[in-house]
Amino acid sequence: MSYDIVVVGSLVVDLPVYLSHSPHLGETIVAKDSHVFPGGKGLNQAVQAFKLGSRVFFVGPIGPDPLGEFMQHALDDIGLKDRILLMTDAITSYAVPVITPDSHYIIHVPGANQRITTEDLLTFQNSWPQSRILLLQGELTEAANMTAIALMRHMNPLILLDPSPVEHISDALIQSSHILTPNQEELSQLALRYGWTSQNPLWISQQLLARFSNLHAVVATQGHEGIVLVTRDKTYHIPALPVEEKDPTAAGDAFNGACAYALSQGDSLYNACVFANTVGAYAASHLGAVTSLPSWNDLKTFFSQGN
């Protein structure tokens, strides 16, 4: 069967913790609030494209534990077409986003996401879905991402790569991709890897395009500074939307999923990024990961109210 987008990516149970302030060394701090959400960059991006109307096929791993059962039930409720790989030698991946009034960071336990192998994916190579777009992230193994590309090479798909975390992104994976979507920190980490001292997102993006001949574009998401889109012949700046930020956990994933959706509908990359910028702003203004990802009706209601 043919799909608009194939996402090969991570499944992570998100356990966000909201604090009144950043804790001091040795301090025991009582959380203001906490939740349990299905998440992971792969799942978030797949769900966002799915909620906007794309036909999405998702591939990802879980472990044989209660968190894995929770994730499987969540996927069943969402209704996403998927192939879940049970990694019997690993726990289900989970993450603890810690949100304070002046900071945001994530403690990530990779678990099953970093155990998936080439052999795991090759077990269903004869039934691999057909698609025009492949969406990848760095939360899976290098072997899994490169195998997904190899399995789809004959389809000549457009490959979007979210290089997060950067430590799991090789030069070979970047060279095999067409659109790179780093955030500000990831762009800085890539610059450090290659010995570049400049922190200018435009300059770093241009250097990445010069270094990797297969890349068509670098889309650098800069939070409150907006988006820098750099192609081989043009540069664009897309301003951030003025919304009240409540939880930025899945904003980048919302952007990537929405960008893939728009591209699958035939939009130009620039128009896809403008639309994805709006979707990312919505996600940042709502709590949770999957729960913050908007449908078309959510977007219409939210922005018609002047947000």
Q: Is 246 within 8 Å of 286 (Cβ atoms)?
A: yes
- Cα 281–240–227 angle (5° rounding)? 105
Residue at 170: amino acid letter: S
List per-residue pLDDT tens for the chain, 307 residues long.
799 999 999 999 989 899 999 999 999 999 999 988 888 999 999 999 999 999 999 999 999 999 999 999 999 999 988 899 999 999 999 989 898 998 888 888 999 999 999 999 999 899 999 999 999 999 999 999 999 999 999 999 999 999 999 999 999 999 999 999 999 999 999 999 999 999 999 999 999 999 999 999 999 999 889 999 999 999 999 999 988 888 777 899 999 999 999 999 999 999 999 999 999 999 999 877 788 999 999 999 988 876 6
Tell me the CB-side half-sphere exposure of residue 296, using CA atoms within 13 A: 6
Distance of alpha carbon 88 from alpha carbon 93, whole angstroms: 13
Helices (H) and strands (E) in the chain, counts: 10, 15
- State the DSSP H helix or E strand holding residue 270, giving kind and residue range, or none if neither: helix 269-284
Residue 82: phi and psi, rounded to 5, are: -145, 165
- As given in the structure block, the two tokens for residue 238 are 């897309």
Residue 193 zone, left/alpha/beta (φ > 0; ψ -120 to 50; rest) = alpha
Q: Is 37 within 8 Å of 291 (Cβ atoms)?
A: yes
Give the pairing of strands 33-34 and 81-86.
unpaired
- As given in the structure block, the two tokens for residue 13 are 């149970």
Determine the CATH number of domain 8-19+32-304. 3.40.1190.20
Tokens 């299905």 belong to which residue? 38
Distance of alpha carbon 109 from alpha carbon 92, whole angstroms: 9
Distance of alpha carbon 204 from alpha carbon 185, whole angstroms: 12
Residue 224: phi and psi, rounded to 5, are: -65, -15
Question: What are the boundaries of each domain within the chain?
Answer: 8-19+32-304
